[in-house]
Structure 1
Amino acid sequence: MRKKCLFFVENEVDSSLEKLTCIDDNPLMCGIYLHLSRKGHVEPSHQDADFLSRRGPDALHTYKTISATEAAQWYLTFSSSVLSLRGNSVHAQPIIDDKSGSIFCWNGEAWFFDDAKVCGNDTQAISKRVFDSVGAQKNSDLAVLDVLDKIEGPYALVLYDAVSQKIYLGRDSLGRRSLLINDASIGIGELTVCSVTAGQSLSKIHEADAAFFTIIDLSTAEPTLYRARPKPPLPIINKQVPMDSHLFTRTPSGETISDLTTQLRSSLQIRVEDIPSYTAYGLNANPSKVAILFSGGLDCTLLARLTHDILPHHQQIDLLNVAFENPRVLNARATSKSITETPGSEVDTYETCPDRVTGRSSFLQLTQVCPERTWRFVATNVPYTEYLDNQATVIRLMHPHNTEMDLSITSALYFAARGHGTATISTSTQQVASYTTTARVLLSGLGADELFGGYARHAAAFARGGYQALNEELELDFLRIGSRNLGRDDRVIAHWGRETRYPFLDEKFVRFALQLPAWEKCGFRPGKPVPKHFETALTPEKIEDLHPEKMLLRCAMWQLGMKGTAAEKKRAIQFGARTAKMHAGKTKGTDTVTIEKPTPNLP
């Protein structure tokens, strides 16, 4: 049976700034801004406009309109920036419907609509369907929501239905794109919706709920906000508990390993194919189109290995690896008698960073298993002073998340996504001292730990209550991933004009992973000791002796010829990159951050 494929074609294209109608082959990623006021139009501040432009460096346009009814008159200001990820031309958002006057801002990738693959321009396909649904004479909310519920892929959106005088805003059910609401002045008839923090008061900013769309009714004297009906529920995790788990082999079945590889390769394929070249950084010879946030760990290296199978071998792939100068670590080393190297030297500071060690090791394995491709290992070294200089920016980007742990994680992502460092090229002995990746698409392994039991707490849950407790912990982690991680990470990474894509969080792949029983994901077995997270990860002789966490992914990696990476232990990014506890003291991960600049006190 042939697969359905949606492709929308219009007879006329008008790209004038007056109408701002975008109907070409160019999907758009962007920054979104909407300000709603009773008093007048309010454009983004200089800093807000700068943050929006960084998310979408190819275009930034503003459109103003007035929504007037007998009850009230509202001034609506829309701004959208554009990051062009396909096609040869750039067209502006917001998108205006000539027929109804409705306005649509889209930040995302619609991979599928109503189970049909979206071919060509996803912005064109979705906006056409949305505009066809606005102004329905009866149940207008249902008509719009029926369209939005059929989208598969990461997105955030704002839709102004000029017929029904309603605004719809929200993001995908997993929360993979950022959309923030600032309702600090809602009492005097003002509201701001933005991809990043916007407005003078940050205290009332919160992320749009991924489980619902929010609707703002402008037909009343005061802006009425209410939740739309719940979105289609997320897939339910398989909580099956075996009658006799002692009969299981240590590893998942061969069929499941094969299915995992097939499903993940399919998820990757739609995310890495047909990406245009981008040469703004001056690299004109075979620029990289895809880069991977690369610690050298299991998840990101598995993505790299499978991406190699998909992309033509002449396309180079960049591996972005980050290491920090941490004064606390350096001071500890300086006072340790067992340290013989010179404290503070570059090799000591960066090359012994855990993620740098595993990164270079996995990079070497990739070059050996996949020698026909040129791989670039981009080593980003972040001095403590540079970390401090950028701290205020990172804190603003991650807001409303505001803990020390948030800062540790997002600092590593912020500098890694910048993509600038010293490049080691696999096909030569050459090192490029100053290199910035041209890739505008970054792959992340986020989601693998939540789906396949990669955290230490999963091992602890199994030790405490077997498969039942493990299932409960896995379900909790999956359900909160959007609120804990994804919007925050999108704001930080997109600041560099790059889009993060999460192959492990593809809807179809998620459904596959959640329907697997726990013993097919993990190697936890009754009577088998679970290695401590700090134990040395040596390459075992047999596949059965791999670490039990994420055993299914380890088996796939093993079968793909990278046994060393298959045995790598899990390490949190803040410890691997050494962004945790950047200065001495009794700071806890749950403490609220400050922007004070402590004295480095480097040895």
Structure 2
Amino acid sequence: MCGIFCSINCIKNNKKRFNKNEQSEWELCKHVIKARGPDNLDSLKKELSEHWYGQFCASILWLQGLQPISQPLMDTDCNILLWNGDVFSGNMFKENICDSKVILLSLKNSFNIPDTLKEINGPFSFIYYKKSSKQLYFARDRFGRHSLLFKISKNFKSLLLTSVAVKAIQNIMELPAIGIFIANLNFKEIQLSCIPWYEPNERFINILTDIKAQFNININIIESKYLPKIEKLYLNILPTSKMGFLKFIEIMNINNYDEIMDYILKDVNIDQIVNNLLVLLNESVKRRVTIMPNFCKNCTYLNISFCQHVKVGILFSGGLDSAILAALTHNHININETIDLINVGFEKKINCNYEVPDRITGRKTLNELLEICLGRTFNFIQVDVSQEELEKYRSTSISNLVYPHATVLDDSLASAVWFASRAEGTIYPTKQSYKSTCRVLLLGMGADEQFGGYMRHRTILRRKGWNALAGELRLEFDRIAERNLGRDDRMVADHGRQSRLPYLDEDFVNFVQQLPVWERCCPVDKFPPGLGDKLLLRLLARKIKLHEAAKFPKRAFQFGSRIANGKENAKNISKYL
């Protein structure tokens, strides 16, 4: 994981290659870029063409290979790479070799850079300068799991790209995770093109229209007949035989959730789907907790072969999604190593009471994990955030990291993730002070959008039917990058940790997306909250003996941690940001 920064500026005269504006932007961003990568910080300045020069900077958190590799990387052809990502599988994954070096070599030898980039399995944002064509490529992966912001000056004489910025840099926006952007540096003014990840649709065109409006710049769309299509919605009426969970609706008497789930699991087809889902999610978790150094984030440069500190943490509410991640993580980490379960609670009034809903749920699920993960030590970290501390950091660090987002919902979710990923509190039940040393933090993002976890999904199904629910899930998954993932990546990375998202693994997502919506969830009135929503995932939890966690109703993070004010409109601009 890295913090990457690139500033491309027009050469005004031969005597002054690097102007004050460029240097001031780097000075503004330097401290937040450095926080993302505590292991190294380096930079490179280079003339890119007769019209342009560039400044490339990167901070490093070591996550792959046998030793840290500094960036920016430059090959023998003077191509330059800034890579903030993880290759987890596929042809690009090379065990014990730093993935940034593999990517640089692959791009150097590539006859088609976009096709090479599409082969990458894993989260990333990147910036790559190809000297022979004098083109700058930049993008976020197709799910948008890592942050990248960008800005074009009004006179088209400069381009800024950065993992994170501050509010003092105005008119910056989050780069949409819709494709690979290309800046052609053969001309005196910036010219942009975009190669979509998928066949362009109405949403893609609307996003490009917004960019054009903000920067008053034209963007050429480079299409290809080989682009995959976004799956069409289920617009046909349901089969009369009723597929998936639907066939159980009329025969089930809802008295006991355990009996219902056990009964459904006796269906051979459903049991096979659950087994396939479990195999894929287990492999996803394995990749994310084993592909890393044998050192915590604090022991990188100590002269030791192995450290005894915690290396993996989980943002842990005790709910369904985080409980599954904790149980599967246990399968892949040496039994002698401790796993941190990080549980955050906010003080609602000045009374030092932090018994928030997620705290209560978290302790219950901790006890269940201890029963099924025999021999494992979990640190249940109680992160208690006072009103005073919230006000202090929300108006300083968090408000800059959230930028350019600014709603009430962004404020509450970002604050919750920032304090949770700081992971500083006390260990339950000893009340011993503790700050996690984990290098990697697992989060459950993506589960609700794929398995129908929100209350609005139940409402849409009741009012408009299954086809409308399928459309809503498709839309929510498509826009998760712009609504959540970039913002949350900036929160976690500010503490020098890497966020990893097992529910957004490519293999896992591809399997889930090909399932009809009625095989993922069943949020009908007869299957109440805690059962019908995310039913497929609840069956998986039941299968791995998380009997209680499988039944917990969905609770939004901002309410479970008690940071949100239910009287505020989540879409309004936050007065704190």
Q: Provide TM-score, normalisation by structure 1.
A: 0.80
Quote the residue 2:105 is aligned against.
128
Quote the residue 1:21 is aligned against.
none
Contact 2:176 2:481 in 1 (8 A): no
Residues of 2 paired with 1:491 and 1:314: CA distance? Answer: 31
Matched residue type, 1:563: H
Residues of 2 paired with 1:238 and 1:315: CA distance? Answer: 45
Contact 1:278 1:439 in 2 (8 A): no
Residues of 1 paired with 2:41 and 2:154: CA distance? Answer: 27
Alignment of 1:401-412 (within 5 A): 401-412=405-416
* CA positional deviation for 1:188: 5.6
Quote the residue 2:205 is aligned against.
none
- The match for 1:273 among 290, 294, 311 is 290
Report Cα offsets for 1:129-174 as digits up to 9, x if no partner.
11223xx6xxxxxx11121111111000000111111101111000
Residues of 1 paired with 2:79 and 2:122: CA distance? Answer: 23
Residues of 2 paired with 1:505 and 1:237: CA distance? Answer: 20
Report Cα offsets for 1:333-357 as digits up to 9, x if no partner.
xxxxxxxxxxx443xx202x01111
Contact 1:461 1:469 in 2 (8 A): yes
Quote the residue 1:194 is aligned against.
162
Alignment of 1:41-80 (within 5 A): 41=18, 42-43=22-23, 44-69=25-50, 72=51, 74-80=52-58
Are residues 1:215 and 2:182 paired?
A: yes
* CA positional deviation for 1:524: 3.7
Quote the residue 2:79 is aligned against.
102
Quote the residue 1:539 is aligned against.
none
Report Cα offsets for 1:23-80 as digits up to 9, x if no partner.
xxxxxx21110111124323454341110110011001010001233xx2x1200000
Matched residue type, 1:190: S
Residues of 2 paired with 1:165 and 1:86: CA distance? Answer: 29
Quote the residue 1:259 is aligned against.
276
Contact 1:452 1:550 in 2 (8 A): yes
Alignment of 1:325-336 (within 5 A): 325-326=347-348, 330=349
Alignment of 1:166-315 (within 5 A): 166-183=135-152, 185-187=153-155, 189-197=157-165, 200-202=168-170, 204-231=171-198, 232-233=227-228, 236=231, 239=234, 241-245=238-242, 248-249=247-248, 251=264, 253-279=270-296, 286-315=308-337
| Residue 36 to residue 199, structure 1, CA distance change in 2 (3 Å) | farther
* CA positional deviation for 1:307: 1.3
- The match for 1:376 among 349, 365, 379 is 379
Contact 2:65 2:96 in 1 (8 A): no
Residues of 2 paired with 1:237 and 1:306: CA distance? Answer: 32
Contact 1:238 1:516 in 2 (8 A): no
SS in 2 for 1:563: coil
Residues of 2 paired with 1:199 and 1:325: CA distance? Answer: 27
Contact 1:237 1:515 in 2 (8 A): no
Quote the residue 1:15 is aligned against.
none
Residues of 2 paired with 1:117 and 1:279: CA distance? Answer: 22
Contact 2:444 2:501 in 1 (8 A): yes
Contact 1:420 1:435 in 2 (8 A): yes
* CA positional deviation for 1:371: 2.8
Matched residue type, 1:242: P
* CA positional deviation for 1:237: 6.5
Report Cα offsets for 1:5-29 as digits up to 9, x if no partner.
xxxxxxxxxxxxxxxxxxxxxxxx2
| Residue 576 to residue 487, structure 1, CA distance change in 2 (3 Å) | same
Quote the residue 1:340 is aligned against.
none
Alignment of 1:465-484 (within 5 A): 465-484=464-483
Contact 2:408 2:571 in 1 (8 A): yes
Contact 1:459 1:530 in 2 (8 A): no
Contact 2:308 2:337 in 1 (8 A): yes
| Residue 196 to residue 97, structure 1, CA distance change in 2 (3 Å) | same
Residues of 1 paired with 2:399 and 2:322: CA distance? Answer: 26
Contact 1:237 1:475 in 2 (8 A): no
Matched residue type, 1:557: A
Quote the residue 1:341 is aligned against.
none
Matched residue type, 2:327: R
Contact 1:31 1:52 in 2 (8 A): yes
C-alpha RMSD of matched pairs (Å): 2.3
Alignment of 1:356-375 (within 5 A): 356-375=359-378
Contact 2:63 2:291 in 1 (8 A): no
Residues of 2 paired with 1:366 and 1:254: CA distance? Answer: 23
* CA positional deviation for 1:113: 4.1
Residues of 1 paired with 2:126 and 2:400: CA distance? Answer: 22
| Residue 130 to residue 199, structure 1, CA distance change in 2 (3 Å) | farther
Matched residue type, 2:231: I
Contact 2:296 2:310 in 1 (8 A): no
Matched residue type, 1:499: Q
* CA positional deviation for 1:248: 1.1
Matched residue type, 1:67: L
Matched residue type, 2:4: I
